[in-house]
Amino acid sequence: MVAFAVALALVLFAVGIGAAYFVFASFLFGAGYEPTPRRAVERMLRYAEVGPSDTVFDLGAGTGAIVFRAARIYRARVVGVEVEPLRVAILRLRRRLGPFSDRITIRWGNLFRLDFRDASVVTAFLWPGAMTRLRPKLEAELAPGARLVSHCHPVPGWVADEYDPETDVYLYRWPAARESGAAPAGPTGGT
Ligand SMILES: C[S@@+](CC[C@H](N)C(=O)[O-])C[C@H]1O[C@@H](n2cnc3c(N)ncnc32)[C@H](O)[C@@H]1O
């Protein structure tokens, strides 16, 4: 009985460590793991008017809540970049098993090393510090006309074109988001 209790405790401990690793290990890179809720994904893709001619970059692709919906429902080309290897393995498995795999690219790596020049739409659900670090990179690399949609956290100092309080989604249009004099939609992130 004691042996069973010890074994059970060890298993629960290992499961806890594994779950904590899965959710929090990527924290230092820019965000822990939390899938974007389906309603927020829909709001993001609709705000950005994603369609077959778009190339969507999902920054921190997680297990693919945005990646696969953008490719399968909206027929976009999608590049999902993810730093955590278990999630990359899940993303690659889902890509292999599902339709439209030719429209989906999964990259294992740090999103801050990805070149955003080919993106017409950028999606993000990252933590505030990562949004701050992201801003100069976005300003250097986004093509005119690109849209950025972010769940939960704004780009500090940018002016949102739209904000949906129900799903907590911000839409930015580049380069209008940085131009002064535009009327802010919803809360802005300060400078
Ligand atoms: C809050 S989750 C969002 C997941 C996904 N976008 C979704 O909609 O379900 C953030 C993801 O970003 C990843 N991440 C955090 N920092 C990163 C970095 N610097 N480069 C690549 N991925 C990163 C995390 O591993 C995590 O999977």
Is position 191 within any domain? no
The alpha carbons of the chain give a radius of gyration, in whole angstroms, of 18
Within 6 A (CB) of ligand 1 lie: 26, 29-31, 33-36, 58, 60-62, 65-66, 81-84, 87, 110-112, 125-126
User: Per DSSP, which regions of the chain are E strands?
Assistant: 55-59, 77-82, 104-108, 121-124, 147-151, 162-164, 169-173
Kindly report the average pLDDT of the chain as a whole number.
90
Would you state the structure tokens that stand for residue 108, as one six-digit string? 């294992």
Is position 164 within any domain? yes
Q: Above 80 in pLDDT, residue 60?
A: yes
Half-sphere exposure of 175 (CA within 13 A, CB side): 8
pLDDT of res. 65: 98
Nearest-atom index, ligand 1, CA of 80: 6
> Between these two residues, 183 and 101, which has the higher pLDDT value?
101
Number of domains in the chain: 1
State the residue range of the domain holding 171: 3-178
Is position 155 within any domain? yes
Enclosing H/E stretch for 103:
none
Nearest to 112 by CA among 132, 86, 90: 132
pLDDT of res. 68: 98
Tell me the longest C-alpha to C-alpha distance in the chain.
71
State percent of the chain over pLDDT 90. 76
Q: Above 60 in pLDDT, residue 29?
A: yes
- pLDDT tens digit sequence for 109-155: 999 999 999 999 999 999 999 999 999 999 999 999 999 999 999 99
Ligand 1 center from residue 126 Cα (angstroms): 6
- For the whole model, what pTM was predicted? 0.88
pLDDT of res. 3: 75
Is position 24 within any domain? yes
Is position 183 within any domain? no
CATH number at residue 54: 3.40.50.150
What residue owns the CA closest to ligand 1's atom 14? 60
